[in-house]
Amino acid sequence: MTDEEGQLGETEDEILDITFVSVKKLNKGGIILETRTQKTATAIRERKNEFITKIGERAVVKDRTVSILIEFVPLTFNTERTEDIAIAEHDSRLPIGSVLSARWIKPESRRREGQKVAHLIVRVAGAEAANKILRDGMVI
């Protein structure tokens, strides 16, 4: 739990110093809080219900997502099937659940007759998975 001193935790071993280094106000009224360390951000995500209770019921803890363009993907890939996404994650050596969604750039109705490949937008959880895809590519 947080207290007036900006700490999260119950016991001395659990207490984590919560220090925000910046606050950014969004156009729609929301805010982004930047923590001093990755460890703090991870602790807040792991204990988000506890954090939300202390900061305010309207608060939402969201994970950052990154969208990546994957070119020339076979049209046999089904963006609606979670099994296809899980296989692509496994074959690309990505953490389980890191691919949040996939969608074709162009709607099916705008494809050429006989088209075999198309471009895909993949939304992944966090910078680590995104950087791995950018560095090593994605196997689909």
Q: What is the pLDDT of residues 103-126, one digit of tens each?
A: 999 999 999 999 999 999 999 998
Domain that holds residue 44: 7-55
Regions of the chain with pLDDT less than 70? 1-17
DSSP secondary structure, 37-51, as one string: -HHHHHHHHHTHHHH
% of residues, the chain, pLDDT over 90? 51
| Stated pTM of the model | 0.67
Judge whether 111 lies within some domain.
yes
Judge whether 121 lies within some domain.
yes
> What domain count does the chain have?
2
Q: Which two tokens stand for residue 71?
A: 């070119």
Cα 82 to its chain centre, rounded Å, is 17
